[in-house]
Structure 1
Amino acid sequence: MELKKIFGQHSAFILTCIAGAGVIATSISAAQGGMEVSELLAEARGGGEELTVKDKIAIATPVYFPAFMFGVATVTCIFGANAINKKQQASLLGAYTITKRSFEKYRQTLIEKHGIEADTEIRESIIARQHCDYHQIGLDVPDQKCIFIEPISGQVLKCYEREIMDAEYHLNRNFVLRGFVSLNEFLEFLGLPKTDRGAKTGWSIDSGFYWIDFEHRLLEDKKYLKHYTIEPVFPPDESYLEGWQ
């Protein structure tokens, strides 16, 4: 059951690896077969008789058969991986289309009931991240440095919001390209020291999401006064490497 789950989650990658191994095996088998066929043809000509094309084919076919089978298996794996990738892409596109249509329907209903002003106000509130007054829409000068807290490790840093967003972008880039990332990677992009917990926890696309969203929440306490937390919408977990190792 566990092997079936792993193959189901990474079938395209597994088939691609098998195809790569198949290319190597086909090349080796063909090279070895070529030398063996040369020797067999030389032995057959030792009797002094001229070999016909039919005779040469009869001698070479059994020798080249393994290379032929490796080649067929390799091509099958390549087409199989391509078919699985297309199926996954179609599923993602279908989910995106449904989500987009639902959102457009929601916006249209909102505009009909409350007017275009309400729609504009809500969208600007989302973009501005409610309660994050350090980021102003339409601001054409650099924003000020603020105190940020990474709540999982409890570490504090003072920087611009754009530096935090840059770290979030690079983390998600690795996430999309590789399929998983650790909390320590995020800490490293933030310029913070790695932690033991950061090495054990992280995010994986096997959890069902393909982008790690973050929220910057404005908080106040006696120690830091005005500061912002960097909170992932999807918290990291310790099982993020299952199926990847």
Structure 2
Amino acid sequence: MKPKLSQTVGRTLKKASPTILTCIGAVGVVATAVLAVKATPKALEMVRADSRKNHDGDPYAATKVEVVKSCWKCYVPAVATGAATVICIFGANTLNRRQQASLASAYALVSRQYNDYKRKLKELYGEEAHKKVMEALAVEQVDKDHFISAPGLVGSSSLDFEDANEEERLFYDPISKRYFQSTISKVLQAEYHLNRNFALGGGFITLNDFYTFLGIEKIPEGDAIGWMVSDGLYWVDFNHSKAMVDDGLNGEIECYIIDVDFPPVTEEEYDPYL
């Protein structure tokens, strides 16, 4: 256990060494200035004392060379600290460049292996299998730190439970024709808060409002289309269904489809006079 712990600590320190040296350099800059300021009164006293001794009692007659000879020892700590600071700064820069070079090498290796994988996949299973794999990988990543809430009379309203540790599932949005990963409760919260804003605010709610609650990227036309309060429409009904989709690699997996009874349209399309 001890060798493993020491190895882990060693690797962690090695990775963090540029940051550590940068922090030490920042502290060193401040320390150098403080030491220089503290040394100045003592240095002035020594210069004046030597000037009186060498120039018949005149404390301000010392030459520049005599000033340096009189007070240089007072600034040794500040100079040493400054030199160490410079070394830390250059050392951090050197280590950072090495890490960047290592990352670039690793990226090149991964890229080469990925290209080899694509080539071999096409050779063994054909172009169609490659397309299925790429489509399965094109699952939009939800903002996992996204907190769903809406303003209320007293404060913000939310149904979220912290650290719920729910299982993420695959969802499909037919309107934007894209897949995304999320939890069932997150999706239900997004639908609830969209309808809550719809009922309380009235007027027009956009498709991008829904995507914002889901934590996925907005679409360009999503701010222009949505749902408006009108005769017979005061609530957006969502329909959920489950289907099996082939990811092209591991076989069929469950996918939850989110559909609506009334698709979003522009505000003008709701106007009976247009």
CA distance 1:142–1:135, shift in 2 (3 Å): closer
The alpha carbon displacement at 1:88 in A equals: 1.8
1:87 corresponds to which residue? 98
2:81 corresponds to which residue? 70
TM-score by length of 2: 0.49
- In the alignment, the residues of structure 1 paired with residue 48 and residue 113 of structure 2 have an alpha-carbon distance, to the nearest angstrom, of 73
1:198 corresponds to which residue? none
The alpha carbon displacement at 1:115 in A equals: 3.6
1:158 maps onto 2:189 in alignment: yes
Of 134, 147, 154 in structure 1, the residue corresponding to residue 172 of structure 2 is: 134
CA deviation vs aligned residue, 1:48-88 (integer Å, no higher than 9, x gap): 61434332221122111111101011111111112222222
2:17 aligned counterpart, secondary structure = helix
The alpha carbon displacement at 1:166 in A equals: 4.8
1:40 maps onto 2:46 in alignment: yes
Q: Which runs of 5+ in 2 are unaligned?
A: 1-5, 56-60, 141-168, 191-209, 218-252, 259-274
- In the alignment, the residues of structure 2 paired with residue 84 and residue 147 of structure 1 have an alpha-carbon distance, to the nearest angstrom, of 41
**How does 1:214-229 map onto structure 2 within 5 Å?**
218=254
CA distance 1:218–1:35, shift in 2 (3 Å): farther
2:189 aligned counterpart, secondary structure = strand
State whether residues 47 and 67 of structure 2, in contact with CA within 8 Å, keep that contact through their aligned partners in structure 1.
Answer: yes
State whether residues 41 and 56 of structure 1, in contact with CA within 8 Å, keep that contact through their aligned partners in structure 2.
Answer: yes
- In the alignment, the residues of structure 2 paired with residue 54 and residue 128 of structure 1 have an alpha-carbon distance, to the nearest angstrom, of 73
- In the alignment, the residues of structure 2 paired with residue 51 and residue 41 of structure 1 have an alpha-carbon distance, to the nearest angstrom, of 7
- In the alignment, the residues of structure 1 paired with residue 104 and residue 213 of structure 2 have an alpha-carbon distance, to the nearest angstrom, of 31
2:28 corresponds to which residue? 22
Larger mean Cα displacement after TM superposition, 84-93 or 18-27 = 84-93
- Identical-pair percentage: 28
1:11 corresponds to which residue? 17
CA distance 1:118–1:162, shift in 2 (3 Å): farther
CA distance 1:109–1:147, shift in 2 (3 Å): closer
**How does 1:230-241 map onto structure 2 within 5 Å?**
none
CA distance 1:158–1:53, shift in 2 (3 Å): closer
- In the alignment, the residues of structure 2 paired with residue 104 and residue 142 of structure 1 have an alpha-carbon distance, to the nearest angstrom, of 25
State whether residues 149 and 227 of structure 1, in contact with CA within 8 Å, keep that contact through their aligned partners in structure 2.
Answer: no
1:103 aligned counterpart, secondary structure = helix
- In the alignment, the residues of structure 1 paired with residue 52 and residue 128 of structure 2 have an alpha-carbon distance, to the nearest angstrom, of 95
Runs ≥4 residues deviating over 6 A:
none
CA deviation vs aligned residue, 1:101-129 (integer Å, no higher than 9, x gap): 11112212333444433322221122148
State whether residues 50 and 70 of structure 2, in contact with CA within 8 Å, keep that contact through their aligned partners in structure 1.
Answer: no
- Structure 2 counterpart of 1:17, one-letter code: C
1:53 maps onto 2:64 in alignment: yes
2:170 aligned counterpart, secondary structure = coil
State whether residues 15 and 78 of structure 1, in contact with CA within 8 Å, keep that contact through their aligned partners in structure 2.
Answer: yes
Q: How many residues align structurally?
A: 163
State whether residues 28 and 85 of structure 2, in contact with CA within 8 Å, keep that contact through their aligned partners in structure 1.
Answer: yes
CA distance 1:113–1:3, shift in 2 (3 Å): closer
- Structure 2 counterpart of 1:132, one-letter code: L
